[in-house]
Structure formats: C-alpha cells, structure tokens
Amino acid sequence: MAQAFRPLAVVTGASSGIGLGLARCCAQAGHDLVIAADNAEIEQAGLSLRALGGAVETVQADLSTKDGVELLCNAVSWGGRTPEILCANAGIGLGDGFLDQDIARALQVVDTNIAGTLRLVHRVGRDMRSAGAGRILIVGSIAGFTPGAFQAVYNGTKAFLDSFSFALRAELEGSGISVTCLMPGVTDTEFFERAGLEDTKLAQAKKDDPDDVARIGFDAMMRGEGDVVSGWSNKLKTALSLLTPAETLTRAHRREAEPGSGR
C-alpha cells in the first residue's frame, strides 16, 4: 500500500458497474483503494484505477462467506490505516419464482447482500468508531420498497439494507461517522445477466448509467446525507410506492419480472 498520508477507501463489488464507478470517484477524490469482487475482472479494474494516480489493492473474494469477508478485512488492515470511506456495494440477484429457484443460489443472495454486508460494516465500522471519523455508503435499492414477485429474495434483501442503513445512521449520530443509503433503480450493469433475468421486461427497460448513479451516491455520501434515490423517475416511483397497496405493487412487479415477460 502507499504512504499513510493518502486517505483509504474500501469498495466492494468494484469489478464493474456501480462499484467500479464508486471506486473511480474515490480515486479521483485522492483516495488509495482496497477493492473487492468475486471475479477475476477485479484485476483489470485495478489496472484502470491505478492510472488515476493512487495505490490500489485488489481482492478477489466471495463476500457471501465469512472467510471471504475476512480475506478482505485482512487486506484492509495490512496497511495499518483505518478506512475513511467504506462503499458496501457487493450484491447479487436471482430471478424466477421462489419455489423454482435453486435454494443454494437463493441463500447465496441473502448471504452476499445481507450477511456479507453486515460482517464488513461491523468490522470496518468499529475501526471507524475508534478513529472517530468515517463515511459509510450502503447500496440498497428502490426495489426495497416493492414486494418483488419473481425477485422475492432479492427485493427482500434490499428492503433489509434500506432499513438497516437508516437505523445504523441513527445509532452513529454524533460519532463522527456518517451512513448514507444509495437507492438506485434499473441500472445498466451485469446484474440482469447474472440473475437470469434477460428475458424479462425489467431487463429490457431503459436503464440508468452506472457511473451517473455512482457519482450521485458518492456526492451524497460526501455531503453526509442519509439517503439518496438516483434519478427523477426513480424518485417518483419511490414516492408512489409509499402510497400504493403492497398487493398492487407486487402485481405490477410480476408483469415486469416474470420469466418470458420481455418476449
């Protein structure tokens, strides 16, 4: 790792999409990086980020497991610095009806999105609390406002993260640590391919640019805001979801996410 005078940022799910965009924002703001993802593409991401001038440590780890989170935390602590920023972005999805899903894959969604995030935030958050300063960005989703037929597990994990972010922020008030929840909508990433959602209306809808979403989240975090929904159409969807019965929301989601709906 580089000299201790550069602040350190940790970004997960940083091989592509929103995570890579967040890592780029951190690097452009003068941070060294520890970035992680569960695929070998993290090395290419590291090369592109090093071109921005800072030190970049890459970690390929499965953050759905305790060992994977431990591997990342060991890389973070190796340089002897407490991160100034943690962007907890790692997450996966899974389409299809719940009873038709492979239960191991469904549980991996829970373990990645919820358990892995909790383990990482707990470890890094404690170090930040000891230092008396830090910024945590948790990537939730506007999906957390909708019971997601044919994405039941994924939407449930995002509802958890949205709620957890607000609660943690309240607990850390006055500690010097801010917690921000970034809630994107449909974004142009590898999410749909990895989740098996390619043949759905949801996957074929107009998507937001991941770099734009990342910048919105990063700026909100740096301002110390509690939450931000990226994009005006997503803000409108979120507002309407608070006024719409859950059954109506679920039926609408089914029309978008049911296998074959895109045909």
Rounded CA-CA distance 114/106 in Å is: 12
Query: Could you tell me which of 16, 23, 6 has the C-alpha nearest to residue 217?
Result: 23
Q: What is the pLDDT of residue 263?
A: 80
Q: What is the pLDDT of residue 1?
A: 43
Rounded CA-CA distance 135/138 in Å is: 10
Q: What is the pLDDT of residue 2?
A: 43
Query: Could you tell me which of 161, 139, 154, 158 has the C-alpha nearest to residue 213?
Result: 139
Q: What share of the chain is helix, strand, coil (3-state, %, to 5)?
A: 50, 15, 35
Q: What is the pLDDT of residue 77?
A: 85
Rounded CA-CA distance 153/195 in Å is: 12
Q: Rounded to the nearest 5°, which phi and psi values hold at 34?
A: -120, 115
**pLDDT per position in the chain (263 positions), as tens?**
444 579 999 999 999 999 999 999 999 999 999 999 999 999 999 999 999 999 999 999 999 999 999 999 999 987 688 999 999 999 999 999 999 999 999 999 999 999 999 999 999 999 999 999 999 999 999 999 999 999 999 999 999 999 999 999 999 999 999 999 999 999 999 999 999 998 999 888 899 999 999 999 999 999 999 999 998 888 998 998 888 999 999 899 999 999 998 88
> What residues pair up with 32 in beta bridges, in sequence order?
8
Q: What is the pLDDT of residue 4?
A: 55
Q: What is the pLDDT of residue 120?
A: 98
